[in-house]
Amino acid sequence: MSRLVAFAAIQGGYKVVSQVEGQLEKALESYDASTSIGFGNTAYYLPVIYSLTGMKCETLEDLKKPLDFARGLLPPHVKGANHLPYLGPLLDAGMAGLFAYEVQEAIRILNEPDFYTFTEDPDIDAGKIWVGPADDTILRKRGVEFVDGSAPGFAAVVGAAPDAETAKMIIEDYQKKSLYIFCAANHNGKTAVEQCLQAGMQIGWNTRIVPFGPDISSAIFALGFANRAAMAFGGVEPGDYRRMLMYNKNRIFAFVNALGDVGTEWAVAAAGCVNWGFPTLADTDIPEILPTGICTYEHVVANVPHDEICQKSVEVRGLKINVTEIDIPLAFGPAFEGERVRGADLHAQTGGGKTQCTELVKMADMGEIEDGKVEVVGPDITDLKEGDTFPLGIYVQIAGREFQTDFEPIMERQIHHLINYIQGIMHIGQRDISWVRISKAAIEKGFSLKDIGVVLHAKFHQDFQKIVDKVQVTLYSNKEDVDKLTKRARGEYKTRDERVDTMTDEDVETFYSCTLCQSFAPSHVCSVSPERTGLCGAYNWMDCKASFEINPTGPNQPIQKGKVLDAELGRFEGVDEFIKSASKGAIESYNFYSMVNAPMTTCGCCEAIAAMLPSCNGVMTVGRDYAGDTPCGMKFTTLAGVMGGGASSPGFVGHSKFNITQGKFILGDGGLLRMVWMPKILKDEIYDRLNARGKQMGVENFADMIADETVGVTEEEILPFLQEKGHPALTMDPLIA
Amino acid sequence: MFGTPTPLQSEANLGIMKEDHVNIILHGHEPVLSEMIVAASQTKDMLDYAKEKGANGIQLGGICCTANEILQRHGVPPAGTFLQQELAIITGACDAMVVDVQCVFQALANVAKCFHTKLITTHPIAKMEQDNVIHIEFDEHHAMEDAVKIVRMAIDNFTKRGADVVIPPYKETQIAGFSVESIKYHLGGTFRGTYYTLNDNIINGRIRGLAGVVGCNNARTKHNEEHIMLVKELIKNDVLVLSTGCSALACGTHGLLTPETAAVYCGPGLAEVCETVGIPPVLHLGSCVDNSRILLAATEVVKAGGLGNDLRDLPAAGSAPEWMSEKAIAIGQYFVASGVYVVFGYHMPLDGAPVFKNHLYNELEGIYGGKWDCEPDPIKHAHKIIAHIDKKRKELGIDKARERVLMDMADRQALGME
């Protein structure tokens, strides 16, 4: 039956390529050939074309080349009898179709710039449900989840289920499995995304249901995302098509679900996906391709019943997913983390300025607590009326032979996402400024406060097996108990903060490595010290220490600091030895406290990137959530493209936002006082800490001396501002000796 | 030099000759002059000249391995195997037969003398003594002129046909033109082309193993029978056959080189793979001097991974069931020394030398990993090959059904990127 698939896909290839050739011709008649085209804020041009062929499409004119290439890939049609081999031609036709689809989407965006929202979440109230291609900000934020495995892969769902209930069942199942669901195409005008909305589900990147677009061509955004992840995090060079596709086969565990009748236009897309190692599972009776080879297992599986399609898809792709079965009446998983509980859906809430909501984790003696005991002290949620507020104290006691008080804040930080993982419950904030909103849907399904405890108990055991032996959770909902807990908690927070804030690199003999990203950025090795948190912002020294205790063979390994080779630039003998072996000889040495001299390597995951601004005698930094131009002449995404993949690039360094105000931040180059520019959004976020650290270094109101995009985005524009403010960098020693 | 073959459709057997066309048969082993004749016979000048002489066109056909050369690159249909060379003349429709070297019967001129056929020798080391033979020595500086001269001679000869023309109305369609490179392309396309696709299906057991079935026709056996019985038995047992030389021609004339054959003769696993890739279960890799292609393909299989580190580890074997030429022994030894188990059919002249026989049939395995064997019965012959393949599968640990491994993040990180 493969012959029929080949026949259909090759026909589809001709159809799609010809159609898009026509559209391009028309566009070239209506617009100037030099008109810019593109997928918004991205450094990867049209990503599928760029990643596989190296062609950079920036103007309408540029689109001709990939389309000609696609035309050239189209193989002869398959004969009825005595045909020539068709597997290779089939895959080529698929690729041709996908290139054409990407060009088609570029033309659509040119013709209808407002068709897609280009945001994380659609604007449903305005009737705009299609988000279109993910920009690089979304890519970096979400791509990391594919890197660390918190998103095991994605399901590309094309078409629509027979009804909204079925669509909900399938897609919710994928959510429970923590997969992303990339939706595109319609079946008889119906789309799975609209069915989700009908069934009352929230859609958008935050709930992992991504509404790319209503046509099959929009499915290209899923592949574009996968390929950009390979370039951004995997260090795969554009044009290295073989490595790109193998990377996808072995790292990005994705598959296609075709819901509805598969015509030639779907067939060509499915054939294209096989190049990536992404198999197709259909709910209709199409010809199957079962032998293995290009994909890990089967290539096309047909006639899959809707209630089996999730399980079957995961199996065919060869994906192992550990679903946490927790005994609560609601679904649970990372896909529900980004779900919101809006005003109209709200049943009751705690914290958020209305009442007090406090969380505290404390170590306990083994004999003192009872494992699995969850107690609600005070009224439960079921006793409350709609619209009520209530105070809440979440008090978790953990005992374990390997447990240390240092781990308390780490465990406490888990509470935020763990509660958020519960479907229909929203959690914001942390410590004594927490805010929990409980939806009506959750109450209908029988949610009780006790379930929070059940989740924390189960997940703490599961994720921290090595250090946790017993967990007991008490939930206080009486004002006096909560106030008492809050008072005690505030004392604890203060002690902890002082301990962490005052910890310096000199205080410890051991740093930690982080090679979590190394399977993606092979020569990159992060080293984390107390005063240089991981550049992704997710791991500080204490986290690494705990992670090592929990998993001694894991990605965080202790590094003995050894002899201090250069105290000012932060070079240590032990670290050098370690990185030499961990990077397999690619990197010999780097400095902790300098961006000018042999700076630390950068993977694609950094929160911010600093760059030198020579004429201001200072440096700038830009966070990944700022998409605009910067005085160094490169946007964040371009910088990350240049820097990522484990390069040590003098003059640039990746770092976390928190690191900016840490004591050793580029201290070898003059420290924080070199900072002359950062985006306003970042400046506002760390405003107080900037001033505090500035003051320590002898400059009052330092934050206001730093220029931002409202002042200018070139060195010439910001220099007068710096002079007017008397910025300290201007009078410092030259940055480059 | 003349380009890498890619799969194409053609036909095979004497039925490809056409009564109303000028028929030129190219016979021997060298592709050089025949390439030029293919080019010359397609020129407008020659076609017009043929029309002038009352023919509807020019039909080229091949015999023996020159046939395979022009089949692989140009789709020129072979008229027959080594043993059919005289038969092509006695159709009475062969207006010229051009021969170069090897496997050309000395008596061919005597047969040609009985008909109008012009017999043209082209090679200085392979002239014939009979006076009806024309010698046009191939000279690479004047290749096209020589080719035109030959074609013109054939056209002139069209009008001189004497005896009744009897062309047996038998021919089969075939897909030929496989090469190391084109197989790679067809196993994964421009972007993912790789022999791993093949390996994966060997590992999962759909394909049991590979057999190179090659070599001559032997006048002491029933024409083609050993080849065909052996090949059918192999593909029935899910062994993918790579074929060259007269063996490939035999498979072509028996219709085994069509993709449709897979569903008829193959075991279920091989049939499924053939269906997926769209290939026949027997792949035509060229002339008998292209046997190196089989070894190169086998090397690609080793390199693609999962099936050991050397040719000797592969679940594969070689076979020449109807061998007769000395060079078959040389090629066989080349395979044995490369680590391949080689089975010859008919007979091996070793019975007077038991020590040497033991050396070839047993001791060589310890040295090269490959060894000789001989088995005249084609079915037993097939099962010797299959037993060897099964032995190698066992050594590789792929003799049991593969489990479906589901991978978590850590497993994936351990996966290579190639």
Assess whether A559 and A676 both reside in one domain: yes
Q: pLDDT digits over A457-494, tens only?
A: 999 998 888 889 999 999 999 999 999 999 999 999 88
Q: Is residue B339 part of a domain?
A: yes
- Domain end residue (candidates: B158, B189, B210): B158
Q: pLDDT digits over A319-336, tens only?
A: 888 777 889 999 998 889
Would you say residue B416 has pLDDT above 80? no
Range of the domain at B119: 8-158
Burial B323-336 (b: 16+ CB within 10 A, else e): bbbebbbebbbbbb
User: Using H for helix, E for strand and C for coil, what is the string for B157-200?
Assistant: HHCCCCCCCCCCCCCEEEEECCCHHHHHHHCCHHHHCCCHHHHH
- Domain end residue (candidates: A462, A490, A518): A490
State the average pLDDT for chain B.
Answer: 94
What's the pLDDT band for A195 if we cut at 50, 70, 90?
A: very high
Looking up tokens 């779907």 gives A266
Residue B148 half-sphere exposure, CB side, CA atoms within 13 Å?
Answer: 9
Q: Is residue A74 part of a domain?
A: yes
Contact across the interface for B412 and A251, Cβ inside 8 Å: yes
Would you say residue A499 has pLDDT above 80? no
- Domain end residue (candidates: A317, A344, A361): A317
Assess whether A400 and A523 both reside in one domain: no
Assess whether A36 and A112 both reside in one domain: yes
Structure tokens at A197: 């909305």
Which of A91, A145, A240, A310 to mutate against chain B (most B CBs within 10 Å)?
A91
Question: Tell me, what CATH number does A114's domain have?
Answer: 3.40.50.2030
Q: Is residue A287 part of a domain?
A: yes
Q: Is residue B182 part of a domain?
A: yes
| pLDDT value for A525 | 77
Cβ atoms < 10 Å from Cβ of B45: 11
DSSP secondary structure string, A189-226? TB-HHHHHHHTT---BGGGTEEEEESSGGGGHHHHHHH
Percentage of residues in chain B having pLDDT higher than 90: 91
What's the pLDDT band for A521 if we cut at 50, 70, 90?
A: low
Assess whether A270 and A232 both reside in one domain: yes
The alpha-carbon gap from B386 to the nearest alpha carbon of chain A, in Å, equals 22
Residue A247 in contact with partner chain B when CB distance is under 8 A: yes
Assess whether A282 and A347 both reside in one domain: no
Looking up tokens 């107390």 gives A530
Residue A319 in contact with partner chain B when CB distance is under 8 A: yes
Assess whether A479 and A575 both reside in one domain: no
Assess whether A268 and A365 both reside in one domain: no
- Provide the residue type at A638 as one letter: T
The alpha-carbon gap from B145 to the nearest alpha carbon of chain A, in Å, equals 35
Contact across the interface for A318 and B404, Cβ inside 8 Å: yes
Which of B197, B411, B416 is opposite residue A293, by nearest beta carbon?
B197
Which of residues 277 through 306 in chain A touch B, CB cutoff 8 A? 289-294, 297, 299
What does the pLDDT average to over A338-354? 89
Q: Could you give the angle at which helices A2-30 and B268-277 cross, rounded to 10 degrees?
A: 20
Range of the domain at A613: 505-731
Would you say residue A430 has pLDDT above 90? no
Q: Is residue B3 part of a domain?
A: no
Contact across the interface for A243 and B418, Cβ inside 8 Å: yes
Under DSSP, the state recorded for B363 is: I
Would you say residue B355 has pLDDT above 70? yes
Q: pLDDT digits over A101-157, tens only?
A: 999 999 999 999 999 999 999 999 899 999 999 998 888 888 878 877 778 899 999
Q: pLDDT digits over A644-694, tens only?
A: 767 778 889 999 898 999 989 999 999 999 999 999 999 999 999 999 999
Which of residues 164 through 203 in chain B touch A, CB cutoff 8 A? 173, 175, 185-193, 196-198, 200-201
Assess whether B147 and B184 both reside in one domain: no
Would you say residue B342 has pLDDT above 90? yes
Residue A82 in contact with partner chain B when CB distance is under 8 A: yes
| pLDDT value for A518 | 60
Question: Tell me, what CATH number does A708's domain have?
Answer: 3.40.1470.10
Assess whether B232 and B317 both reside in one domain: yes
- Provide the residue type at B202 as one letter: I
What's the pLDDT band for A49 if we cut at 50, 70, 90?
A: very high
Cβ atoms < 10 Å from Cβ of A37: 21
Which of B187, B406, B416 is opposite residue A87, by nearest beta carbon?
B187
Structure tokens at A619: 């440096």
Question: Tell me, what CATH number does B135's domain have?
Answer: 3.40.50.2030
Asked whether the beta carbons of A453 and A473 are under 8 A apart, the reply is yes
Asked whether the beta carbons of B98 and B32 are under 8 A apart, the reply is no
**Which value, in Å, is the radius of gyration of the alpha carbons in chain B?**
23
Kindly tell me the number of DSSP H helices and DSSP E strands found in chain B.
19, 14
What's the pLDDT band for A232 if we cut at 50, 70, 90?
A: confident
What's the pLDDT band for A553 if we cut at 50, 70, 90?
A: confident
d(CA A324, CA B106): 82
Asked whether the beta carbons of B189 and A276 are under 8 A apart, the reply is no
Q: pLDDT digits over A220-230, tens only?
A: 999 999 999 88
In the sheet that holds B239-243, the strands lie side by side as: B282-284, B239-243, B209-213, B316-320, B341-344, B371-374
Which of B194, B264, B274, B276 to mutate against chain A (most A CBs within 10 Å)?
B276
Assess whether A697 and A619 both reside in one domain: yes
Q: pLDDT digits over B229-277, tens only?
A: 999 999 999 999 999 999 999 999 999 999 999 999 999 999 999 999 9
Assess whether B320 and B252 both reside in one domain: yes
Phi, psi of B282 (to 5 degrees): -120, 120
Would you say residue B418 has pLDDT above 70? no
Q: Distances in Å between the alpha carbon of A593 and those of A566, A636, A668?
A: 10, 21, 5
Find, in chain A, the residue whose alpha carbon is nearest to that of B172. A82
Assess whether B274 and B356 both reside in one domain: yes
Assess whether A270 and A339 both reside in one domain: no
Q: Is residue B417 part of a domain?
A: no
H helix or E strand, kind and range, residue A353: none
d(CA B274, CA A315): 25
Looking at beta carbons, which residues of chain B come within 8 Å of A91? 188-192
Q: pLDDT digits over A286-329, tens only?
A: 989 888 889 999 999 999 999 999 999 999 999 888 777 889 99
Residue A449's SS3 state is coil
| pLDDT value for B365 | 96
H helix or E strand, kind and range, residue A234: helix A220-234
- Provide the residue type at A698 as one letter: G
Assess whether A306 and A341 both reside in one domain: no
| Spacing of C-alpha A240 from chain mean position | 24
d(CA A130, CA A125): 12
d(CA A41, CA A626): 10
Q: Could you give the angle at which helices B291-304 and B196-203 cross, rounded to 10 degrees?
A: 70
- Domain end residue (candidates: A423, A458, A490): A490
Q: Distances in Å between the alpha carbon of A145 and those of A458, A533, B225?
A: 22, 19, 62
Q: Distances in Å between the alpha carbon of B254 and those of A690, B80, B103, B250, B251?
A: 85, 11, 22, 6, 5
Cβ atoms < 10 Å from Cβ of A622: 27
Assess whether B248 and B136 both reside in one domain: no
DSSP secondary structure string, B38-58? HHHTTSHHHHHHHHHTT-S-E
The domain total for chain A is 3
Closest by alpha carbon to A529, among A608, A468, A590? Answer: A590
Assess whether B143 and B233 both reside in one domain: no
Under DSSP, the state recorded for A31 is: S
Which of B196, B260, B415 is opposite residue A293, by nearest beta carbon?
B196
Assess whether B311 and B213 both reside in one domain: yes
List of long-range contacts for A299-307, beta carbons under 8 Å, 24+ apart: A299/A274, A299/B276, A300/A5, A300/A270, A306/A161, A306/A162, A306/A166, A306/A169, A306/A170, A307/A169
What does the pLDDT average to over A612-633? 91
Looking at beta carbons, which residues of chain A come within 8 Å of B305? none
Assess whether A405 and A542 both reside in one domain: no
State the average pLDDT for chain A.
Answer: 91
| pLDDT value for A410 | 84
Q: Is residue B404 part of a domain?
A: no
Percentage of residues in chain B having pLDDT higher than 70: 99
Q: Is residue B402 part of a domain?
A: no
